[in-house]
Structure 1
């Protein structure tokens, strides 16, 4: 099989997995046999590209978030590091929506990951989402660290986890009743978090 054919097979596998998730919900079971049958390849071929269901789900989720999140200015060193980091975090928050849409989104998350039975598909899906958020945040911090805009590179996983936890809290808060618009408070909170992560390097 040529490299081009190999790449095409990989893309068709991802498209089939994405179709199953679109049809059955984000915690749908990604059966190796079902996907292989849709694509018209052997299960061995599918395993060649994605050795585990988790690897397949991780890649589908990564592609979905690549599509949802616009390009960031994280590489634009003419903008202060803290501003770039906060803008990246705000882009993630934008996917959580606001008001009634935020409540619908949080209800869907709660139904899928808290109320539902904690089976393998639920666990795989949650971990794929969590890993993708962690990876993106670590990537942003690595860019800033390379410029001298973040502390010790060894701290990046821990600091990225902190920022993801802050985002989760704000996303939940958006779904709860509030007296005033939260947008200004959210931005202030993200600047506090960015300053805590970047220290004197921002």
Structure 2
């Protein structure tokens, strides 16, 4: 009797392997053979799922988006504590998130000249902006932000802060900057309410 394939598990293995390859060896190393070797599956099996490098690259972007979304969806709580945990998920504060961001940046560079991949990377960028909007809406709902605040402008500022902190964290040793980055994020969130709301 043939063994049934757990497609979700296979996709998870492929996604994790591709992100490791991108983070460690760069975009030039992202081949079907290299990812198959890293994932411990047959090259022919991977090639059936992803017949082109373009398909594999788009899969990587979608995998990063889905992994981050899954972690965010699992968060519980409300107000400032929830917002800080939610936003911290977008920063490379551990090895897995560092690999994700390194892979994402590799793909984003290629997306500058690859229209199909560019659309996928743009969707990922928009998803981060959506998280920023949701975080600020939660702050407003729980009194941690003025109801008169300009939400689109504040979401753009928050997004820019997260992008800057993420790049700084990636380009230095995490232990050197992680606490500073988290403190800066807290300061920004508290400044939206004049530092008064800590519920």
- Normalising by the residue count of structure 2, what TM-score does the alignment of the two structures yield? 0.58
Work out which of the residue numbers 69, 78, 86 in structure 2 matches 1:66. Answer: 69
Q: CA deviation at 1:129?
A: 0.9
Task: Give the total of aligned pairs.
Answer: 148
Counterpart in 1 of 2:146? 151
C-alpha offsets along residues 149-182 of structure 1, whole Å, 9 cap, x if unaligned? Answer: 2124561122122222222112211221349532
SS at match of 1:199: coil
Unaligned runs of 5+ in 2: 1-7, 16-49
Taking only aligned residues, the RMSD between alpha carbons, in angstroms, comes to: 3.5
Counterpart in 1 of 2:160? 165
Unaligned runs of 5+ in 1: 1-14, 29-56, 76-80
Quote the Cα distance in structure 1 between the aligned partners of 2:131 and 2:96.
27
Work out which of the residue numbers 140, 148, 170 in structure 2 matches 1:175. Answer: 170
C-alpha offsets along residues 32-71 of structure 1, whole Å, 9 cap, x if unaligned? Answer: xxxxxxxxxxxxxxxxxxxxxxxxx7xx876543323353
Counterpart in 1 of 2:84? 86
Quote the Cα distance in structure 2 between the aligned partners of 1:88 and 1:101.
14
After superposition, the Cα gap between the structure-2 partners of 1:188 and 1:156, relative to the gap in structure 1 and judged at 3 Å, is: same
- Normalising by the residue count of structure 1, what TM-score does the alignment of the two structures yield? 0.57
Q: CA deviation at 1:197?
A: 2.8
SS at match of 1:198: coil
Work out which of the residue numbers 127, 136, 141 in structure 1 matches 2:131. Answer: 136
SS at match of 1:69: helix
Quote the Cα distance in structure 2 between the aligned partners of 1:107 and 1:71.
23
Q: CA deviation at 1:90?
A: 1.4
